[in-house]
Chain A
Amino acid sequence: MEQENDSKGIFLSIDWITITLYVILIIWGWFSVCGACYDFNHPDLFSWETNSGKQIVWGGTSLILAAILMLIEKRLYDTAAYVIYVGLMLLLAVTIVIAPDTKGSRSWLPLGSSVKIQPAEFAKFAVALALGKFMDQYGVNIKKSKDILIAIGIIILPMLLIIGQKETGSALVYLAFFLMLYREGMTGSLLFSGFACVVYFVVGMKFREDYIENMPVSIGEFTVLLLAITFTIGLVWVYCRNMKAVRIMAIACYGTILLAMLFSIYVIPFDVCYVMLGLCILLILYLIGLAFYTQLYRYIFIAFFAVVSTSLFYLSSTIFNHLADHQRTRIEVLLGIKDDPRGAGYNVNQAKIAIGSGGLFGKGFLNGTQTKLRYVPEQHTDFIFCTVGEEEGFVGAAGVLIVYLFFIWRLIALSERQPDTMGRVYGYSVVCIFLFHLFINVGMVIGLTPVIGIPLPFFSYGGSSLWGFTLLLFIFLRMDAERNLKRQ
């Protein structure tokens, strides 16, 4: 009797807004796959011979999967979270060994003759569950270094395994969990450090070979060191509130740099970066001194930040010089150092042409020449957004983004209304994964972010990705539906 009540309650508590958005995205995605894959030799959109036909099957089975997931109680996940996590990690590890080599990656497991699955697409929910379970435990606090290290370990393990499968793009998706950790109270400085590292890398690499006029000073090296000093002083200001130290460091550093610059311009030209490097070392020593003096750990962390900041440029330069040529070219094109529309930049260039030619209302369903003439590689998977841009125009492309925005906002709202940490952590994990995919995938197609081969959820062709995202989402929707039940 109680069971019956529960089911009824759950049915009423299902968030139909999210489900509506989900269905809209899936159907919209199917039309895009039709546009991207339309083969004039097989004009039947529903035939199993065509990708559009197969996508219907993936979509239909996803709905069945969704329905099944709605029947599985949260309690089960709560109990089995670690088991699921360990199981999937083993699967990822086994995949490296047994998966056949497809285009250099070892991430696809063949099931039978015509179906292949990619375990990496399914591992995300396991990580989200494990993190939820871990952080729900009594006494676990993400502000404690032991706990944050465990959380990071849970995230890093699948990343390493997926990198082992040569699917670096899919591995990077797990960085999204850090955004969730931020919501759960991880100090913002960690997020900021990550952001700073990306800035160092991009700026440093991009301007590495450019020199300040009339001076033997690399713009990239100079800027990175200047940023490192500025960020370090900024961190002392924000986290330690030691105004006296901030003033000493700022005056000493900027004053010395200014004097060195003037000396270099007017007396003898020399590489100012040596002076800045010296300043960084002094800064680090000063911070360590402050740490002993004040007995505050924070200074040690900031000193560590300064060490990483200072060495990152030299480290990445060295690694960069040892990369294989094609990898180096790819990074250079990515950062806009090299313009190579026939080589590595070809995809992005053709993608921009496809989207740009769509205009306000697009060329119409199945009328995109750019995509039909196969100018855009991977157009039905990673570059699916091109088809949207070309055939449906600005209205369609912006429409997809807006639907996604509401979808993500809705998921944030659902996460916030979870009664326990497990639900909230899992919910935010889902939010962050979708956000990351949207950010990288659409960004690369319109030429704003690096080309990292990850799918656009519900749009990119493929059963694994569609099932993976459905699994991720509907586990959360079931948890949400149980929010009003008493916890057992």
Chain B
Amino acid sequence: MKSQFYEYRKYVLAGIALIVVISYIIRLAFLQLSGEEYKSRADDNAFFHNVIFPARGVIYDRNGELLVYNQPAYDIMVIMREVNNLDTLDFCQTLDITKEQFDERMAIIKDKNKNPGYSTYTPQLFQAQIAAAEFGVFQEKLFRFHGFYIRERTIRRYATNNCAHILGDVAEVSSAEVERDDYYSPGDYIGKQGVERSYEKELRGVKGIQILLRDARGRIQGHYRNGELDRKPIPGKNLTLSIDAKLQALGERLMEGKMGAIVAIEPKTGEILCMVSAPSYDPHRMEGKQRGKQMMEMQRDPMKPMLNRAISGTYPPGSTFKTSQGLTFLQEGIITSATAYPCRRGFYCGGMKVGCHGHGAPLPLIPAIATSCNGYFCWGLYHMLGNKKYQRIQNAMNTWKDYMVSMGFGYKLGVDLPGEARGMIPNAEYYDRRLGKWNGLSVISIAIGQGEVTLTPLQIANLGATIANRGYYITPHIVKKVEGGKVADSLLVKHKTKVDQQYYEMVAEGMRRAVTGGTCRSANTSQYEVCGKTGTAQNRGQDHSAFMGFAPKDDPKIAIAVYVENGGFGAHYGVPIGALMMEQYINGQLSPASEAKAASFQSRHINYGTRER
């Protein structure tokens, strides 16, 4: 027999079979006996984690007016095996969808790859967020649609047309957010901007969970371990903002058709009374399913309505900055209250010229603030940077910088809103790098709030609050109260500046004189003593119009900054808008004359053209 020759090969074949079986048994042992991983993954498939969403905290203004609340929304769920005799036509009409959309949705539900864990026995999401009106009609007919059920959820609603930048909005979590914080699962909602974002942890509450057991049929068999692992949802905490909704509304009215910001602070507490950023938008645009489309539209708008200019915009503070200069020179002994500097329609020194308007000269500090004399503060800074006691100009410069930082400039103030900018306060190293060799003259424009210096409107308002407090500020913040909790300690810190109270009195007096007989005359009123300082910041186009002030002079209730881009002189827009805002807050309303003035400012629009900014 020819093949007996190869009979040994039967062992090769038997051996191959043996090796295959043995290696497969070893593999099975690894899969089945090595641990709980696969078991728990199968359980994950079999357990039904029923998440119960907590109600998100609602938001009030400082007077208890409701700003943001929740409204029930309805998801339509379907249990496939219970669907029978469905009148598809009627069903589609009720939900205002087409037959094609219906078929497509059903196909996606049944697709194991797109919808893992699908079972004909458990509710599947058919359509999310049905509006209350549609829901009403649907619910009436629900008894006819066997297998369809309702699941309640909530959507965020706004009770105000204002405060868009402050309140922010909520939207579905991004995949990056899910990865950062394992509290979230895809499809959850999270605060994206404003207070909704910065107070997300307080507002969201804690999700509850029911761990339900599915049997091999996919039917719910009850609670796993009698529900001992279940958790009840903990509702989110309600917030009370320090915002005065009426003041905010007036501010947004006044800024219509303009770009810029208004920030008002209660000096004693650091509470932000209003924070207007113009242009703004109606927060209702961010409600529900339309949010994505609206966002896109606004992001394309060259006016950038999404940007919160009050904290993210950085501007040259202009003459409002002079107050901080006077304070610094006084404290450093560069000047006294009696020191007078000449001004011949400007500052002339070593071929350098900074222009000024016509006024009496030479002047001491208080009238210099009142008339906003450029020459005075240029001379002051020139003398400070050239002073021998610092030995080197670098030391003088950095001393100056330290004063500025102590007043809250150059760094974030730490407001409880996302997106705060830090502004710019140059130091000696900066100029060494930028200019190489430099002297007092090369940087002189920072004395009048121009040049490299930039501040956010919030920082300007905070300067007002610091002067109102005569030498300190509390971190400005926007949340007054967290229900059942407290505002973060870091928001209640008292920051003392490097300047003594007595010098603040002088500057306050200067700002009072500006109102009674200087640049801010239009803000004067007999009802209370207003202190103020205009600012006119030069830039490439029309000047920016700024105002910084507080009232009353003694025991101040409100400090304010108004910044109108390309508004011209400070007195054009800044002063009158600031005056109206102070009146509204202190009196609780506007007089008829002021109301008329407000209406005229509301309708006065500035043409910005269409260039990207």
Q: A342–B113 contact, CB under 8 A?
A: yes
Check if B217 is an interface residue, CB within 8 A of chain A. Answer: yes
Interface presence of A300 (CB below 8 A): no
- Chain B residues with CB under 8 A of A182: 9, 12-13
Q: Of A343, A369, A435, which is within 8 A of B42 by CB?
A: A369
Using CB atoms, name the residue of chain B closest to A369: B46
Residues of A within 8 A of B430 (CB): none
B23 to chain A: which residues have CB within 8 Å? Answer: 448
- B390 interface hit (Cβ, 8 Å): no
Q: Is B229 an interface residue (CB 8 A)?
A: no
In the complex, what's the smallest C-beta–C-beta distance from B166 to chain A, in angstroms? 41
Please measure, in the bound complex, the distance between the C-alpha atom of A107 and the C-alpha atom of B12, giving whole angstroms.
34
A389 at the interface (CB under 8 A from B): yes
Whether the pair B13, A369 counts as a contact (CB closer than 8 A) is: no
Q: Which of A41, A346, A354, A398 contacts B28 (CB 8 A)?
A: A398
Give Cα distance in the complex from A184 to B29, angstroms. 36
Asked, given contacts A346-B113, A416-B7, A446-B28, whether A357 binds B42 with beta carbons under 8 Å apart, the answer is yes
Chain B residues, Cβ within 8 Å of A446: 24, 27-28, 31
Note all chain B residues with C-beta closer than 8 A to A373. 45-46, 117, 119, 214, 216-218
Cβ of B507 to closest chain A Cβ, rounded Å:
67
Inter-chain contact total with CB atoms closer than 8 Å:
147
A118 contacts chain B at the CB level, 8 A cutoff: no
Q: Known contacts A357-B42, A389-B32, A446-B31: does B217 contact A40 (CB below 8 Å)?
A: yes
Question: Is B296 at the interface (CB under 8 A from chain A)?
Answer: no
Q: How far is the CA of A138 from the CA of B195 in the complex (A)?
A: 94
B38 touches A448 (CB 8 A): no
- Report Cα–Cα, A432/B216, bound state, in Å: 37
**Is there contact, CB below 8 Å, between B10 and A412?**
yes
Interface SS of chain B: helix
Q: Are A401 and B41 in contact (CB under 8 A)?
A: no
Task: Find chain B residues with CB under 8 A from A424 CB.
Answer: 3
Which A residues lie within 8 Å of B9 (CB)? 182-183
Distance in angstroms between the alpha carbons of A128 and B265 in the assembled complex: 94
Q: Mask for A423-435, Cβ within 8 A of B = 1, else 0?
A: 0100010011001
**Which of B14-22, B99-107, B256-264, B433-441 has 4 or more CB atoms under 8 Å from chain A?**
B14-22
Report A-chain residues with C-beta under 8 Å of the C-beta of B42.
353-354, 356-357, 369-370, 390
Shortest distance between the CB of A125 and any CB in chain B (Å): 19
Q: Are the C-beta atoms of B14 and A412 separated by less than 8 Å?
A: yes
Contact partners of B41 in chain A: CB under 8 A = 353, 356-357
**A397, B425: Cα distance in complex, Å:** 74
B10 touches A183 (CB 8 A): yes
Of all chain B residues, the one with the shortest Cβ separation from A394 is B32
Q: Are A367 and B216 in contact (CB under 8 A)?
A: yes
Say whether, besides A359-B33, A373-B214, A185 and B39 are in contact (CB < 8 Å). Answer: no
A401 near B24 (CB under 8 angstroms)? yes
Residues of B within 8 A of A372 (CB): 215-218
B29 touches A394 (CB 8 A): yes
Q: A370 — which chain B residues lie within 8 A by C-beta?
A: 42, 45-46
Closest to A366 in B: B216
Residue of A nearest to B31 (CB): A356
Task: Mark contacts of A344-357 with chain B using CB atoms, 8 A cut-off: 1 yes-contact digit, 0 otherwise.
Answer: 00100000111111
Q: Which residues from A are CB-within-8-Å of B43?
A: 357, 369
Bound-complex Cα distance A370 to B214 (A): 11
Check B45 against A394 for contact (C-beta < 8 Å): no
Asked if A141 contacts B2 (CB within 8 A), the reply is yes
The reply to whether B216 and A397 form a contact with Cβ atoms under 8 Å apart is no
Asked whether, in the complex, the Cβ of B18 is within 8 Å of the Cβ of A405, the reply is yes
B31–A402 CB distance below 8 A? no
The listed residue with most B CB atoms (<10 A of its CB), out of A342, A369, A439, A443, is: A369
Residue B6 at the A interface, CB < 8 A? yes
Q: Does A409 contact B (CB under 8 A)?
A: yes
Chain B: which residue is nearest A40 at the CB level? B217
Beta-carbon contact of A185 and B2 below 8 Å: yes
* CB of B47 to closest CB in A, whole Å: 9
Cα–Cα distance between A415 and B20 once the two chains are bound (Å): 20
Confirm or deny: A393 has a beta carbon within 8 angstroms of a beta carbon on chain B: yes
User: In the complex, given contacts A183-B13, A185-B3, what are 11 additional A-B residue pairs having Cβ atoms less than 8 angstroms apart?
Assistant: A179-B16, A183-B12, A355-B28, A355-B32, A369-B46, A389-B32, A394-B29, A397-B28, A401-B21, A405-B17, A442-B24
Residues of chain A whose beta carbon lies under 8 Å from any beta carbon of chain B: 38, 40-41, 141, 179, 182-185, 342-343, 346, 352-360, 366-375, 377, 389-390, 393-394, 397-398, 401-402, 404-405, 408-409, 412, 415-416, 421, 424, 428, 431-432, 435, 438-439, 442-443, 446-448
